[in-house]
Amino acid sequence: MSRAPRSRAARRSWGDDDSAAPIIHVDMDAFFASVELLEHPELAGRPVIVGGRDGRGVVSAASYEARAFGVSSAMSMAEASRRCPQAVVLPVRHGLYSQVSAQVMAVLAEVTPALEKVSIDEAFLDVSGARRRMGSPVTIGRWIRAEIRRRVGVPASVGIASTKFIAKLASSHAKPDGLLLVPAAATQDFLNVLPVGALWGVGTRTQEVLARWGIQDVRTLAGTDVRHLERILGRAAGRHLHELSHGVDPRRVEPVREEKSVGTETTFFETLTDRDHARRVLLDQTHQCAARLRAADRRCRVAVLKARGADFTTVTRSRTLATPTDLAQDIWETVSSLYSALPTPPGGFRLLGVRVEGLLRPDDGVQLLLDEDPRRGASERAADAVRRRWGTHAVAPASLLSGDGPTKAPPGQEGRGGRGRRR
C-alpha cells in the first residue's frame, strides 16, 4: 500500500481518448485485509489490521477504515495500536493470499499474454493486442474490475495510461475501487497537479530538500533545469525525478513465462533509520517469500537482500543456501546475516526487500542434507494447512523478532542448533 500523497485535483476526468493509452495497472485495494473480509464479512466497515498480534511485528495491510487513523504498511504494530486501538487485528495468512492472488492473475491472463505481475496484488498489462477482441482499454479495464469482483470477491483499482509510471499513478488516484484514465495528451496536465511526494522515490527528506528551493509540486519540478536538480539532489536522483516529472518512462510490460524468483519489497516514504524496525520488516518479508514458495510447491537455492538508501543508491547482496529450502527459518538465517553486515546508509533506508532465486520443483532432484531432520519445518507447513482449513483465528503465527538480534529465538519458537531463527 502506497503512502505517497495524492491530489484531489487529480481525481477527475482527464478526457476519454484512450487510443494511445494501452497500459493498464491493476492494483488490489488493501489486498490482505480485503481477503480477510471475505471470510469475516461481519468486520466490514470496521478498522482491520493484518499483522502480528503481539505488538512486536509490522503491519502487512490495513483496511481503509484503519488508514483513516494513520495506520500504514511496514509500520510497527505497537505504533499502529497506539493510533487505532479499536482496530481488529488479524494474523497474516500468506498461503491464502497467494491462492487468491493466483485467482486474480488468472482473470488478467484471459485479457492478454502481455501481463507483468509486479507483486502479489498488482500487475501491468499491455492491451494493445486485445483491443480487437475485447474493445478499448477503458472497456477492458471495466471488465477486469467487474470480473475480479464477481469471481474473486475483492475490489481492484485500475489506472490506464500511455506508460507504466503514469498508469500506476492513475490507479493510486482511482482508489479505492475505481478506474482512472489519463490520456496520452493529458499526461503533463495530470502530473502538474500532483505534489512532488507523489513521484516514486520522493520521501520526506527529499521533499524537505526540494521545498528549500521552492519546489513543492510536480509543475515546478518539471520547470526546473535538470542540472540544478542534479546539484541539489545528486546526479542520479536529480535526473530520475526530472524524467518522472515529464512522464518519461521507457519501460515495457515484461511478461514472465515462468517465475524465476519470489520476492517482496517495501518502499518507505519516510526513510527508516531504526535497524531493529528494519530487521522486523525483513523478517516479515522472509516469511512472505517462504509461504509463497510452499504455496507454489517450490524450493529456493539463493537468498537476496535489497536495500536502497535516501540518495537512491541501491545495494543487493546474495548468498547461496546450504541446501534448497522453502522454510523461513533457513532463509532468515542468510538474510539476517546479510543484513547484519550491511551498514545503514546515510539518511536511512528508502527501500528494503527480500527475494529468493534458483527455484526448484520437487522433481528437480533436490538433495537434502545428510543430517536433515524430516520434522524440520513441520510447524510452518502445519500452520499453512490449519489456516487454509479453519480460518484466521485457528492458529496464530509466531512472533517477529523484536530487536533481540539474530541469535535469540522469538518466544515460543524452537531453534535447531545454530540454524536460522523463526518468527
Query: What are the C-alpha distances in Å from 57 to residues 33, 47, 73, 85, 403?
Result: 16, 18, 11, 16, 10
> SS3 of 101, please?
helix
Neighbours of 280 (CB within 10 A): 24
Closest CA to 261 of 171, 357, 118, 333: 357
| Listed residue (43, 26, 167, 159) closest to 101, CA to CA | 26
Contacts of 213-220 with C-beta under 8 Å, sequence gap 24+, read 217/192, 217/193, 218/191, 218/192, 218/193, 218/194, 218/245, 219/191, 219/192, 219/193
Find the helix packing angle between 275-295 and 378-390, rounded to 10°: 70
For the chain, the distance separating the N- and C-terminal CA atoms, rounded to the nearest angstrom, is 23
Identify the burial level of 111 via C-beta atoms within 10 angstroms of its C-beta, where 0-12 means exposed, 13-18 middle and 19 or more buried.
Answer: buried
Q: Cell 495497472, residue? A: 25
Nearest to 156 by CA among 167, 145, 171, 170: 145
Q: Where are the alpha helices (DSSP H) in 175-217?
A: 187-192, 204-212
Task: Identify whether 122 is a catalytic site residue.
Answer: yes
Amino acid at 226: V
Reference 377, options 282, 273, 299; nearest CA is 299
Phi/psi region, residue 54 (left: phi>0; alpha: psi -120 to 50; beta: rest), is alpha
Catalytic residue, candidates 122, 147, 243, 265: 122
DSSP β-ladder status, 261-272 and 349-357: antiparallel
Active site amino acids:
122
